[in-house]
Amino acid sequence: MRRISIFGSTGSVGCNTVDLIRRAPEAFRTVALTGGRNVTLLAEQARSLRAEVAVTAHDDLLGNLREALDGSGVEAAAGEAALIEAAGRPADWAMSAIVGAAGLAPGLAALEQGAVLALANKESLVAAGPLMMATARAHGATILPVDSEHSAVFQALRGEAPGAVERVILTASGGAFRDWTAERLTEATPEEAVRHPNWDMGQRITIDSASLFNKALEIIETREFFGIEPDRIEVLIHPESLIHAMVGFQDGALLAHIGPPDMRHAIGYALHWPERQALPVARLDFAAIGQLNFSAPDEARYPALRLAREVMGAGGLTGAAFIAAKEAAVDAFLERRIGFTEMAVVVERVIEKLSGVGLGKAEITLDSVRHADQMARIGAAEAVGGLEAESERVWISQG
Ligand code: NDP
């Protein structure tokens, strides 16, 4: 029996992971499940998987979690320290599916006890790729990609010499606003941004898909995971989301990974790696699909792609600041304080401001990442305030 833990089990990736585990209860023993505000679901999952411990990130919800787990024999805990303690309990395989910068510390804790870490939380690699990789090496741990694009690249690279890779092509659906003009994008609302045409995902990553910030993170993730130089990583709009990524080799061959837009493929691949096992995903009928479409991304409409390259160029803690500024910008957009296209303006202002304090040269540790995160959130709050004041001025001058 393999011991497994799921960080962020109540989210979209987490629930898909629980679904796969539930299908083979005899193969797995659940150590830790962690969630955020949804303690009802967390308790239900912990009961059904007979977890050792269930942890909510929120101290104020400990009472509710305890009540929901009453009589189950599952330990209940709350808060960041409890989450990291649970993540560090010995497990053979752990899923890192917390959203955002909060996923870094639990992921590191799992690596420190030598687990195979299935990494959906791309933010960890963007903020602290070298730290994640060094921790895995030091403790004999393994990191497996779960993002569908990176799982695709990982599968295409199996058995290939790293030196034979010429380029990696990441596909992007183009998100909710694929066909919108730059002018219309300025009017986009949070309700419109959370509707993804192909994938059923958490709220934040769906907004990041619409702004292409998700693809920006994935470019950096590709560099950190596979050591591919930034100028060899391309992005291609592919509305059908069936080809997840392609790897081009020096002999001109391209290996494409094709499958339905269902995260249970990438999660299941990481769960059963290095074997392949049957998975409950749809099989594609190419005759029915008929055609696949591709186009180049419009970098003028989507500045996130350019920002990703600037972040990689700057290095150091710039990735950590990028993640935090982007998270703060998404919050401000959800609160209707800034417009959809202003999210990129906020991130750019923060990166510009912090580049002056030597962020690019700083050493990456958990503490320095947290510090850069705080500085970026302060910078983002100022930038959001500045944009609000600017729009107020426009409003008054128009009125
Ligand atoms: P969701 O928003 O659906 O779920 C996030 C999970 O993290 C939930 O369990 C949530 O708890 C928990 N959580 C939220 N905030 C905190 C916090 N501060 N501390 C601890 N736990 C917290 O996200 P997704 O499942 O969509 O995404 C998870 C990660 O996987 C992200 O990094 C995303 O980029 C990546 N990813 C997602 C894909 C997808 O298809 N969804 C595809 C590829 C990558 P609760 O809900 O109980 O509040």
- Beta strands 165-172 and 243-249: pairing type? antiparallel
CA 40 to ligand 1 center in whole angstroms: 16
Q: Which of 5, 80, 98, 196 to mutate to test the pocket of ligand 1 (most atoms within 8 A of CB)?
A: 98
12 Cβ closer than 6 Å to some ligand 1 atom: yes
**Chain centre to alpha carbon of residue 333:** 19
Please give the helix or strand (H or E) that residue 161 lies within, else none.
Answer: none
Distance spanning both ends of the chain, measured CA to CA:
68
The span from the CA of 383 to the CA of 146, in Å, is 33
Minimal CA–CA distance to 93: which of 182, 13, 25, 2?
A: 2
DSSP letter for 301, please: T
Residue with CA closest to ligand 1 atom 11: 36
Is the separation of the CB atoms in 6 and 36 below 8 Å?
no
- Polymer length in residues for the chain: 399
CA 184 to ligand 1 center in whole angstroms: 29
Average pLDDT, rounded, for the chain: 96
43 Cβ closer than 6 Å to some ligand 1 atom: no
Contacts of residues 12-15 at CB distance under 8 Å and 24 or more positions apart, as own/partner, are 12/200, 12/201, 12/202, 12/205, 12/263, 13/95, 13/97, 13/120, 13/146, 13/202, 13/263, 13/267, 14/95, 14/97, 15/41
What is the arithmetic mean of pLDDT over 14-30?
97
What is the arithmetic mean of pLDDT over 257-264?
97
Is the separation of the CB atoms in 257 and 244 below 8 Å?
yes
Q: For residue 100, give the ligand 1 atom closest to its CA.
A: 32
297 Cβ closer than 6 Å to some ligand 1 atom: no
CA 288 to ligand 1 center in whole angstroms: 33
pLDDT in tens, 47-103: 999 999 999 999 999 999 999 999 999 999 999 999 999 999 999 999 999 999 999
φ/ψ (deg, to 5) at 165: -80, 125
CA 394 to ligand 1 center in whole angstroms: 37
Is the separation of the CB atoms in 60 and 28 below 8 Å?
no
CA 39 to ligand 1 center in whole angstroms: 14
Overall pTM surpassing 0.75 (yes/no): yes
pLDDT in tens, 287-322: 999 999 999 999 889 999 999 999 999 999 999 999
Q: Kindly state the tokens that stand for 387.
A: 């944009």
The span from the CA of 239 to the CA of 204, in Å, is 20
194 Cβ closer than 6 Å to some ligand 1 atom: no
Q: For residue 121, give the ligand 1 atom closest to its CA.
A: 32
Please give the helix or strand (H or E) that residue 263 lies within, else none.
Answer: helix 263-272
Q: Which of 5, 9, 10, 13 to mutate to test the pocket of ligand 1 (most atoms within 8 A of CB)?
A: 13
pLDDT in tens, 210-250: 999 999 999 999 999 999 999 999 999 999 999 999 999 99
Residue with CA closest to ligand 1 atom 31: 99
Q: For residue 123, give the ligand 1 atom closest to its CA.
A: 32
CA 105 to ligand 1 center in whole angstroms: 14
Q: Which residues pair with 122 in a beta bridge?
A: none
The span from the CA of 391 to the CA of 75, in Å, is 50
205 Cβ closer than 6 Å to some ligand 1 atom: yes
Q: Is the pLDDT of residue 350 over 90?
A: yes
At position 14, the amino acid (one-letter code) is G
